[in-house]
């Protein structure tokens, strides 16, 4: 691998049990061609000694602020300027709290204040600590300031609990770093995306709708744009503002969404159907407001065209990605749907559980394609969309 040739990465290690994985991450980054320097907080040194990272990196490890010997090797301001990327892995709750409040009470926190380089957090902590609103508030503040956050994963934790808080595996982090440095993987690729819910009018003031917020579709559109794609977004009514550098077409009904997609699909390389399209619409739309003078009012519904299935069934279809919302047997039902609709990929999410899904800011996805799968654990929809976009880009190039 040489995807990180000439890239300088400052690896910040803070005090969590996931520290041992950072040694593997260091090796992976180096194998990919990166030059890596390591900074450790005092707490990190309680888990792994600086000597381990020194031996692996072949360079002294920076631990102290204002230590004459270390400052002589590279002073902390030069170190902050040296890096092309600052990667904090693991990032503990305490470290996130300290940088969120702008503290400069150890070398690594000071570097975060002093650098203009992109900082990435790879959080690792107990699930309650991660879910605690204090940590989530700190995370939001950091994201607003431009930090990236990759992970955490969901799964068994060192403390014996199960849930979100595991640091992403070193190989996955290394891959994300490579993707970060080569974002133009969809340069010149045209992507058409549907998002939001559709509204099927009953009369001039009422409609049949659903609870989709459009957040996931918009986040996917932004992530595809960030990979260099030329994106057209066909959106049902949402409370969201049209993303910059994306052509957004506002529609209301499934029929309008269908027409808009069909008008643009021949000119696209990738089609991603994220919209929660109403499966049925009222057969008759009353021209006047329906009065409540009946005890029982029956609405006759007719089926809407399946936009996704029609796109996939075209003669020369684009790379087609669908979504599936399942309450149970997620993998089996989603894979059946993928095969039935002849999709290149399906992104399945479990609905009806406490977290994630419609209206939530977080979600988890299971991605399935013909000969592979990837589980994306519960995380903010914006990060989830980034990882989904990267996977779509990879499979799109693999197919072509
Ligand atoms: N879709 C579409 N047009 C429709 C209905 C759905 O493009 N008229 C797309 C959605 O955007 C989504 C996928 O198809 O990508 C969802 O497929 P669907 O068969 O509706 O699955 P579920 O919503 O999961 O519902 P069910 O399992 O009940 O069929």
- pLDDT tens for each residue of 380-399: 888 899 889 999 998 998 88
* Domain final position from 181, 199, 232: 181
Q: How many CB atoms lie within 10 A of CB 329?
A: 10
Residue 2, domain member (yes or no): no
Note the pLDDT of residue 184: 62
Q: How many CB atoms lie within 10 A of CB 302?
A: 10
Indicate whether 108 pLDDT > 70. yes
Q: Tell me the CA–centroid distance for residue 79 and ligand 1, in Å.
A: 51
Query: Where in the sequence is the domain holding 137, given as residue range(s)?
Result: 8-181
Residue 256, domain member (yes or no): yes
Q: Tell me the CA–centroid distance for residue 323 and ligand 1, in Å.
A: 7
Q: What's 22's domain CATH number?
A: 3.40.50.1950
Between CA 322 and CA 341 the distance in angstroms is 9
Q: Are residues 373 and 226 in the same domain?
A: yes
Q: Are residues 151 and 244 in the same domain?
A: no
- Condensed to tens digits (0 to 9), the pLDDT of residues 164-213 reads 999 999 999 998 898 788 766 898 999 999 999 999 999 999 999 999 99
Q: Are residues 154 and 206 in the same domain?
A: no
Residue 1, domain member (yes or no): no
Average pLDDT of the chain, as a whole number? 93
pTM of this prediction?
A: 0.67
Indicate whether 68 pLDDT > 90. no
Note the pLDDT of residue 183: 62
Q: Which of 256, 274, 279 to mutate to test the pocket of ligand 1 (most atoms within 8 A of CB)?
A: 279
Percent of the chain with pLDDT over 90: 77
* Domain final position from 120, 155, 181: 181
Between CA 88 and CA 326 the distance in angstroms is 35
Between CA 94 and CA 63 the distance in angstroms is 17
> Contacts from 370-374 at CB under 8 Å and sequence distance 24+?
370/344, 373/331
Find the range with the poorest average confidence among 9-13, 27-31, 389-393: 389-393
* Domain final position from 135, 164, 181: 181
- Condensed to tens digits (0 to 9), the pLDDT of residues 334-355 reads 999 999 999 999 999 987 665 5
Indicate whether 360 pLDDT > 80. no
Which is catalytic among the residues 112, 159, 174, 268?
159
Find the range with the poorest average confidence among 118-127, 201-210, 241-250, 345-354: 345-354
Q: What's 354's domain CATH number?
A: 3.40.50.10300
Instruction: Give whole-number Cα distances, 202 to 57, 73, 83, 205, in Å.
Output: 66, 73, 59, 8
Residue 112 is among the residues annotated as catalytic for this protein: no
Indicate whether 323 pLDDT > 60. yes
Indicate whether 157 pLDDT > 80. yes
Q: Are residues 76 and 146 in the same domain?
A: yes
Q: How many independent structural domains does the chain possess?
A: 2
Find out whether the beta carbon of 261 lies less than 6 Å from any atom of ligand 1: no
Q: Are residues 213 and 169 in the same domain?
A: no
**pLDDT-based confidence at residue 99 (cuts at 50, 70, 90):** very high
Helix, strand, coil % in the chain, rounded to nearest 5? 35, 25, 40
């Amino acid at each position: 691998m040489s995807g990180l040739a000439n890239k300088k990465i400052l690896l910040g290690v803070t005090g969590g049990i996931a520290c041992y994985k950072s040694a593997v991450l260091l090796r992976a980054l180096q194998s990919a061609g990166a030059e890596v320097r390591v900074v450790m907080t005092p707490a990190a040194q309680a888990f792994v000694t600086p000597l381990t990272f020194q031996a692996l990196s072949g360079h002294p490890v920076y631990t102290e602020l204002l230590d004459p010997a270390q400052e002589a090797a590279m002073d902390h301001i030069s170190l902050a300027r040296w890096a092309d990327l600052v990667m904090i892995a693991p990032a503990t709750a305490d470290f996130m709290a300290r940088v969120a409040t702008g503290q400069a009470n150890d070398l690594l926190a000071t570097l975060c204040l002093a650098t203009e380089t992109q900082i990435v957090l790879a959080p690792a902590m107990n699930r309650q600590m991660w879910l605690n609103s204090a940590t989530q508030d700190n995370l939001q503040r950091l994201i607003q300031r431009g930090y990236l956050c990759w992970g955490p994963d969901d799964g068994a934790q060192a403390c014996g609990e199960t849930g979100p808080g595991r640091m992403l595996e070193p190989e996955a982090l290394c891959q994300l770093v490579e993707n970060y440095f080569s974002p133009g993987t969809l340069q010149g690729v045209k992507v058409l995306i549907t998002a939001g819910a559709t509204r099927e009018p009953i009369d001039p003031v009422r409609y049949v709708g659903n609870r989709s917020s459009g957040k996931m579709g918009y986040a996917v559109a932004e992530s595809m744009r960030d990979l260099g794609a030329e994106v057209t977004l066909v959106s049902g009514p949402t409370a969201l503002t049209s993303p910059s550098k994306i052509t957004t077409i506002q529609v209301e009904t499934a029929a309008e969404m269908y027409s808009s997609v069909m008008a643009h699909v021949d000119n696209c390389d990738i089609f991603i159907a994220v919209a929660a399209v109403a499966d049925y619409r009222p057969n008759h739309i009353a021209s006047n407001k329906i009065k409540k003078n009946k005890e029982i009012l029956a609405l006759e519904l007719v089926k809407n065209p399946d936009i996704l299935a029609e796109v996939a069934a075209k003669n020369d279809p684009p790379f087609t990605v669908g979504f599936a919302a399942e309450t149970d047997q997620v993998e089996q039902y989603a894979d059946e749907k993928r095969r039935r609709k002849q999709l290149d990929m399906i992104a399945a999410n479990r609905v009806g559980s406490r977290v994630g899904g419609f209206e939530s800011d977080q979600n988890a996805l299971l991605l399935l394609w013909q000969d592979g799968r990837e589980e994306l654990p519960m995380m903010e929809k914006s990060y989830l969309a980034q990882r989904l976009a990267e996977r779509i880009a990879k499979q799109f190039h693999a197919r072509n």
